[in-house]
Amino acid sequence: MSGTAKIHFEPSATDDITFTIAARGVFTEAKGIIKVGHYRADGNGGGFEAEVDCLVAGGPVATVTAVVTTSTSFPVGERIAVSVYDGGTDRFDNSRDQIGWSWSVPTGKVQPCMAPATFATVKKGGFTVVGKGWPKPPAQIDTGK
C-alpha cells in the first residue's frame, strides 16, 4: 500500500493533516514507513515518522501498524495503527478514499496488525492498496503417523 493524502477530520476540520504511507510485504514481514504531519491553522503542530511492523491487505482495505522512530508530537517507541480504504475516485476525479488511525480513538495499547475502522476522508491525494489477501499456508509435513 502506498500514497500521500491530505485528510479531512471533522473535529479538526481547519487543520492541515497529511499522511504518507509506503508499506510492502505481508503481516509481520512487512517493511516501510508512515509519516504524519498535523498542523493547526495557527501554525502550531508537529509530526512523526514510524517504521512499519505489520501490513494486512485484502481487496481495497489495508491495516498497517508501525513503531514511532522520530517525533515532535508523539512518544518515540510507541506503536501506532492506520487503516485505509482505497475507494478510487468519483466521476469528477475526487478521492473516495478513507483513513482511520489509532491515536484519535480510545484503543488502549495498539497490537501489531490491528487498527480501527476508517473514520476520516481524503481531501487531496490518495492511497493505493494492492491486496494479496491471506498468504498460502505452508505445506503440511508428513510425519509418517
Mean predicted confidence (pLDDT) in 89-107: 91
Mean pLDDT of 20-37: 96
Q: What's the mean pLDDT in 48-74?
A: 96
Residue 138 has pLDDT above 60, yes or no: no
Q: Which three cell numbers stand for residue 123?
A: 481531501
Predicted TM-score (pTM) of this structure? 0.87
* Torsion sign (Cα): 121, 127, 128, 131: negative
Rounded CA-CA distance 32/53 in Å is 8
- Per the prediction, the chain carries an average pLDDT of 91
Instruction: Return contacts of 115-119, CB within 8 angstroms, 24+ apart.
Output: 115/63, 115/64, 115/65, 115/81, 115/82, 115/83, 116/81, 116/83, 117/83, 118/83, 118/84, 118/85, 119/9
